Amino acid sequence: MRKLRNVLYVTNPQSYLSKDGESIVVSVENQELARVPIHNLEGVVCFGFMGASPGMMALCTENDVGLCFVSPYGKFMARVGGKVSGNVLLRKRQYAVSDDETASVKIASYCILGKLMNCRTVLQRFSRDYPDMVSGEFERNFKRLSEGIVQIKAGTCGSLNELRGFEGILSKYYFDSFNDLILSTEPEFSFENRSRRPPLDRVNALLSFSYTLIAADCASALESVGLDPQVGFLHRVRPGRPSLALDLMEEFRPYLGDRFVLSLVNNRVVTAGNFVVKENGAVLLTDDARKTVLQAWQKRKKEEVMHGYLEERMPIGLLPYSQAMLLARFLRGDIDGYPPFVVR
């Protein structure tokens, strides 16, 4: 596998990015704060409004470094990309498959299988680590989830709607057990169900934030192998929606997202005070906490994991890339299916 480079997260909204030689310079009010050589970078995510010079943008596009602007609260605003690259034959195949329900169901099933199998592992690991805390309800959900996985693998879903419906039911079993996985005694961290737009509790705020990070990584991984992140198989094509990035990230939600959030809460990396609760109930991460979370995220991406299909150890941060590559290889007919990343 290729090398995992870093992602530069610029969290001060007053930051301005410029280029000096082969380096990116981050400055606030004309004061240079940091200088990073482009060759060490995978991507740049800027939580700010000040912007970047065209020279810096060119430096990024020439070096295949994704540059993405999000609002200070992590809402996606813009991504800077170079000229259209990659293989037009691959993209045409992607569009053809996306228009073909049967072919789409096949790929979408692989993505969903990856997700549910990883959900299962998250539950399974908990039951192994804390056998005394496993309730009867937890075991029932676990069993239903496992049976569902076998059914999807057997190809029982004939249409995308059927698959979406079944996936929804199985995900609910998983999230019904999610509160059991939270070991924090702080009542603020209890989890009832998944809420978004806006997240209505602290755990949901963390989940949403980590999913945003994964989606950005998936979109750039897809672009780097020449796939169009907007044209998906499971997620319907909607203007502005990175449907394929959402398809690709399904398998990463439990493993990269949920487990990451659980470790933040259970290891007290974040505490109840790290959040702002708005008048309408929306829960937001504070600036400082966001920095803490991003640091933990960067650290997590450097951890290595065994890829069961590639039979190779690689940093977690390269998983979106390896999966995008495998998806492209499947679409081009190099391999006989799309092997989702499944954690042991």
Partner 1 sequence: MNPDDYLMLSGIQHFAFCQRQWALIHVEQLWAENSLTFSGKLMHDNADDPFFVESRGDTLVSRSIPLVSHNLKIYGIADVVEFHRSSSGVRIAYRDGFWEVVPIEYKRGKKKEDDCDEVQLCCQAMCLEEMYGTKIPAGYLYYGKTRHRTEVLFDEELREHVVSLIQEMYALYENGITPAAELKKQCASCSIRDLCVPTISSRKKSVDQYLDSMIGEYSHEKTA
Contact between 1 and partner 1 per CB under 8 A: yes
Among 291, 298, 310, 315, binds partner 1 (CB under 8 A): 310
End-to-end CA distance of the chain: 20
Contact by Cβ (8 Å): 25, 17: yes
Subset of 10-39 contacting partner 1 (CB under 8 A): none
Question: Quick one: which segment of 9-17, 248-256, 274-282, 326-334 binds partner 1 (CB under 8 A)?
Answer: 326-334
246 Cβ neighbours under 8 A, 6+ residues apart: 215, 218, 232, 234, 235
Among 45, 90, 112, 249, binds partner 1 (CB under 8 A): 90
* Distance, CA of 153 to CA of 168 (rounded, Å): 16
Closer CB to partner 1, residue 131 or residue 239?
131
Give least dist CB 206 to partner 1, A: 26
Closer CB to partner 1, residue 9 or residue 321?
321
Four-point Cα dihedral 309, 312, 316, 321, nearest 10: -70
* Distance, CA of 234 to CA of 227 (rounded, Å): 15
Binding mask 98-137 for partner 1 (x = CB under 8 A): ------------x--x---x--x--xx--x---x--x---
Contact by Cβ (8 Å): 315, 4: yes
Contact between 87 and partner 1 per CB under 8 A: yes
246-to-8, 18, 110, 181 alpha-carbon distances in Å:
22, 31, 13, 25
Give least dist CB 235 to partner 1, A: 21
Question: Quick one: which segment of 9-17, 215-223, 297-305, 331-339 binds partner 1 (CB under 8 A)?
Answer: 331-339
* Distance, CA of 174 to CA of 145 (rounded, Å): 7
Among 69, 138, 191, 211, binds partner 1 (CB under 8 A): 138
Contact between 83 and partner 1 per CB under 8 A: no
Q: How many CB atoms lie within 10 A of CB 166?
A: 18
Among 150, 272, 276, 306, binds partner 1 (CB under 8 A): 150
* Distance, CA of 250 to CA of 324 (rounded, Å): 13
Question: Quick one: which segment of 65-73, 79-87, 184-192, 283-291 binds partner 1 (CB under 8 A)?
Answer: 79-87
H or E element that contains 35: strand 31-37
Question: Quick one: which segment of 28-36, 67-75, 95-103, 323-331 binds partner 1 (CB under 8 A)?
Answer: 323-331
Among 60, 67, 108, 149, binds partner 1 (CB under 8 A): 149
Residue 269 main-chain phi, psi, to 5 deg: -70, -35
Helices (H), the chain: 54-62, 88-99, 101-129, 136-153, 160-176, 202-224, 243-249, 252, 259-266, 287-302, 319-331
Give least dist CB 12 to partner 1, A: 32
Question: Quick one: which segment of 205-213, 214-222, 274-282, 307-315 binds partner 1 (CB under 8 A)?
Answer: 307-315
Question: Quick one: which segment of 168-176, 211-219, 253-261, 329-337 binds partner 1 (CB under 8 A)?
Answer: 329-337
290 Cβ neighbours under 8 A, 6+ residues apart: 11, 47, 74, 209
Closer CB to partner 1, residue 257 or residue 339?
339
Rama region for 30: left / alpha / beta (φ>0; ψ in -120 to 50; rest): left
Closer CB to partner 1, residue 151 or residue 190?
151
* Distance, CA of 31 to CA of 95 (rounded, Å): 47
Binding residues for partner 1 (CB under 8 A): 1-2, 85-90, 110, 113, 117, 120, 123-124, 127, 131, 134, 138-139, 142-143, 146, 149-150, 153, 225-226, 308-312, 325-326, 329-330, 332, 334-340, 342, 344
